[in-house]
Amino acid sequence: MPAGAGAGLPAAASVTRRGPGPDAHATPLRPADLGAADQDAADQDAADPGSADLGPADLDPAHLDVAVEVLRLLADPTRLALLRHLAAGERSVGALALALDRPVPAVSQHLARLRGGQLVRTRREASTVHYRLANEHVAALVAHVLHQAEHVRHPFDPPHHAPGR
């Protein structure tokens, strides 16, 4: 097993350390360099099956460009709200427009962008178009983004950490 792999860190993880002069150099990041909270996060990453399948291909510039485009699609409150509603299940454009109190044409335009980014899929039933999330990764991404927002707004007691939630 590579050094550091047991702590949830890839063997090639490094950190840039800045000294008193202009010379900065990268040195291997060791588990001993981590604080308790960082070590807990590294341990959690090691236990997260979603992080185990990340590899060098994920750092390919073309792959990163696609990831940035996905994040740009999420960087709109209406689109993020649409995805959150769709995480609960398939919905028609009209139902989504009603839930967001937005005009149907505006919601349709946002859904078209999400569809173009392959974040949602459609099903037509007569003249009604139903939308659903493209896959479980979209649901997880939306949940993680919203949970991170709770951490930013409530750093000491995010609501999703409350008992019973």
63 and 49 in a single domain? The answer is no
118 and 138 in a single domain? The answer is yes
| Better-predicted residue by pLDDT, 102 or 34 | 102
Question: Which of 111, 66, 64, 119 minimizes the C-alpha distance to 92?
Answer: 111
Cα-Cα-Cα-Cα dihedral sign, residues 47, 49, 52, 54: negative
144 and 118 in a single domain? The answer is yes
44 and 65 in a single domain? The answer is no
pLDDT > 70 in the chain, percent: 68
50: domain range?
1-54
134 and 68 in a single domain? The answer is yes
Cα-Cα-Cα-Cα dihedral sign, residues 6, 9, 14, 15: negative
124 and 97 in a single domain? The answer is yes
Among the candidates 54, 78, 99, a domain finishes at 54
If pLDDT is split at 50, 70 and 90, which confidence band does 44 have? low
37 and 66 in a single domain? The answer is no
78 and 143 in a single domain? The answer is yes
Distance separating alpha carbons of residues 153 and 145, to the nearest angstrom:
12
34 and 64 in a single domain? The answer is no
What are the residues whose beta carbons fall under 8 Å from the beta carbon of 94, sequence distance 6 or more? 104, 128
- Torsion angles phi and psi, residue 15, rounded to 5: -135, 140
Q: For the chain, how many structural domains are there in total?
A: 2
Distance separating alpha carbons of residues 162 and 158, to the nearest angstrom:
7
Distance separating alpha carbons of residues 131 and 123, to the nearest angstrom:
7
Q: What is the DSSP letter of 95?
A: H
If pLDDT is split at 50, 70 and 90, which confidence band does 145 have? very high
Q: pTM of the prediction?
A: 0.67
87 and 153 in a single domain? The answer is yes
38 and 65 in a single domain? The answer is no
110 and 87 in a single domain? The answer is yes
Q: Which CATH number covers residue 159?
A: 1.10.10.10
